[in-house]
Amino acid sequence: MTYAKRFDGRKPDQIREMEAKIGIIKRADGSAMFRMGKTIAIAAVYGPRELFPAFLQEPARGRLKVIYDLLSFSVTERKKPGPSRRSTEVSMVTENSLEPALNLTKFGYTGLDIYIYITQADAGTRCAGINAATLALVDAGIPMKDLVAAVAVGKVSDKIVVDLNKEEEDHPDGATDMPVAMMPRTGKITLLQLDGSMTKDEIKQALEMAKKACQEINKVQIKALKEKYMEAEKWMTT
């Protein structure tokens, strides 16, 4: 069987429809929502704030902590609330993918916490989470070297595609999923995972697609930030 036409009619290099919103959680220092098709992530940033217990404090750098989880109602069958092996792993890779964009040495003794919750899951949730968290960090006023944009690329049956949805991940012929995060200005990759198998050439082709898709995601992120700050500017001048 070949995968001639994508289930939702997208072109191989076509990302799902995106939406981004900044400042969605009033009590957080920074927050954002990022939607990729039917996958929705919200992120809230708290800090940098004094870190407790004090023995965790490091004078030379702030401590970044990411807590990622799928909410119980985000998937078709209720997901048991609370952390799991999967959420611990996704939290860790998300931390690693965001850290290169930050300068934690400026925030000695403090902790910077990012909560990422998936309200609706249709594959690619770690990537949507990274896209939301990046915006929440900017909203919190954290200086950043670049934004981080993330997308999953991969192979569905015999076809290399970008931004797989759940139906594609569950293709009867099998699917390979490769989440990628990068800092679009330099092209530096901060997350690269591979669930499945692809040849060297297929990986190269998928990475090219990811690079292009991350540029598009970056544009949506910048647009959302501009919208938020234009609003603030209006408010200040009236």
Contact 39, 128 (CB under 8 A): yes
Q: Is 166 in the site for ligand ADP (CB under 6 A)?
A: yes
- Whole-number Cα distances in Å, 14 to 36, 48, 159, 190: 12, 37, 13, 22
* Helix or strand run (H / E) with residue 168: helix 166-169
113: contact with ligand ADP by CB under 6 A: no
Can you tell me which of 29, 69, 113, 122 binds ligand ADP, judged by CB under 6 A? Answer: 122
Give the full edge-to-edge strand order of the sheet including 63-70.
Answer: 18-22, 30-36, 39-50, 110-120, 63-70
Encoded one letter per residue, x for contact with ligand ADP by CB under 6 A and - for no contact, window 170-189 reads -------x-x----------
* 123 lies in the site for ligand ADP, by CB under 6 A: yes
Judging by DSSP bridges, how do beta strands 110-120 and 39-50 pair with one another? antiparallel
User: In this chain, which stretch among 59-67, 123-131, 140-148, 204-212 interacts with ligand ADP, using CB under 6 A?
Assistant: 123-131
The answer to the question of residue 75 lying near ligand ADP (CB under 6 A) is: yes
Q: How far apart are CA 95 and CA 92, in angstroms?
A: 5
Contact call for residue 69 and ligand ADP (CB under 6 A): no
| Residue of 110, 125, 131, 221 that binds ligand ADP (CB under 6 A) | 125
Please identify which residue in 114, 116, 121, 140 interacts with ligand ADP, judged by CB under 6 A.
121
Residue 107 is given by DSSP the state: G
Nearer to ligand ADP, 77 or 201 (CB): 77
Taking the least distance from each CB to ligand ADP, the nearer of 130 and 225 is 130
| ω into 100 cis (within 30 of 0) | no
Residue with tokens 């647009």: 223
Q: Assess 61 for contact with ligand ADP (CB under 6 A).
A: no
Summarize as ranges the residues that interact with ligand ADP (CB under 6 A). 70, 75, 77, 79, 86, 121-126, 152, 166, 169, 177, 179
